Amino acid sequence: MSGRMLAEVEVFGPRSCQVQPHADEEWSVSSVSRSATSGGTGRVVEEFTLKGGDGTPSALQSGDPKADHVFAYDQRHVFQLSRAAGQGCVCERIEAAGCVVQEFSADTESVVVTFLVDDVPTLRDIVDDLQSEGDTVKLRRLLEDTPAETDRPVVLDRAKLTTRQREVLGRAHEMGYFEHPREATAGDVADALDISTSTFTEHLAAAQRKLLDDLLDSC
């Protein structure tokens, strides 16, 4: 066993990602692959796949000059774009920490990335760094590579959450906010709770930080 951990992190409102803006309400990004161009041009070629809709992706309808439609199959559309390297996007920030992005998906609000990380301090540093790239960062899943007989349960102390924070988390989960693709937006959940969207995201971020502290401290 390597002792490494598999982390799945969601970044809301990524600022430097050039792939995520091509998702729309019906079509989500299901995968991305990247390759540096030859000749030392300092550019990166990315190919991403949109899937999930019955009609035509808005990225195809608009004829976006930044992304070329290169392939289609089984209600999936593959696009290719070229961009400058070193823009500090989510994937590049994770790679800068010595990790390799294994999976990538995105909808209109966020991107979800999966990667292997050596230890908890490195994961903390990555999460802290991603905070500057997105509005909110959420650790969706963390799997530890340990023998079954040595697995330790993770204890999450719900008492650390305020009544309002538990209510916000519960309603968001109930409405499918944490699903990917998301079944409800932040605005939808905020309306159901009769609060503003900014208040909802503040309560959610505070609750997630408390639970994340418990989760990581148990590793």
Q: Please, are residues 135 and 201 in contact by the beta-carbon 8 Å criterion?
A: yes
Question: What is the reported pLDDT for 1?
Answer: 40
Q: Say what the pLDDT of residue 178 is.
A: 83
pLDDT digits (tens, 9 = 90+) for 172-202: 989 988 887 788 888 999 999 999 998 998 8
Three-state DSSP class for 196? Answer: coil
The low-confidence residues of the chain, meaning pLDDT below 50, are 1
| Predicted local confidence at residue 144, as pLDDT | 79
Number of helices (H) and strands (E) in the chain: give both, helices first.
6, 8
Tell me phi and psi for residue 216, to 5 degrees.
Answer: -70, -35
Q: For the segment 33-47, what is each residue's pLDDT rounded down to a tens digit? A: 988 665 667 889 999
pLDDT above 90 as % of the chain: 45
